[in-house]
Structure 1
Amino acid sequence: LGAVVIEVDTWLGKMHEVVEALRTYRPAYLQMMYPQMVELEHLAEKTDLKEAFSSLKGASCAGQPLSRKMRERIHDDWGIDVYEYTSAADTGTAWECREHDGFHLWEDTVFAECVESDEHGWHDVPERDLGELAATDLDNRAAPLIRYRSE
Structure 2
Amino acid sequence: MSLLMGFSLANVAHMGIQEALSFEARAPNSLTFGSLIWVGNSETQCPGQCAWRFHQPIYGPQYPALVAPNNDVGVDGMIINLASLWLGDQPFWEWVLSGSQRGLEAASACPGVYGKGAHPGYAGDLLVEATTGASYNANGFNGKKYLLPALFDPSTSTCSTLV
Question: Normalising to structure 2: TM-score of the pair?
Answer: 0.23
Q: Which has the higher helix share?
A: 1
For CA contacts below 8 A with separation 6 or more, give which structure has more relative contact order. 2
Q: Which has the higher strand share?
A: 1
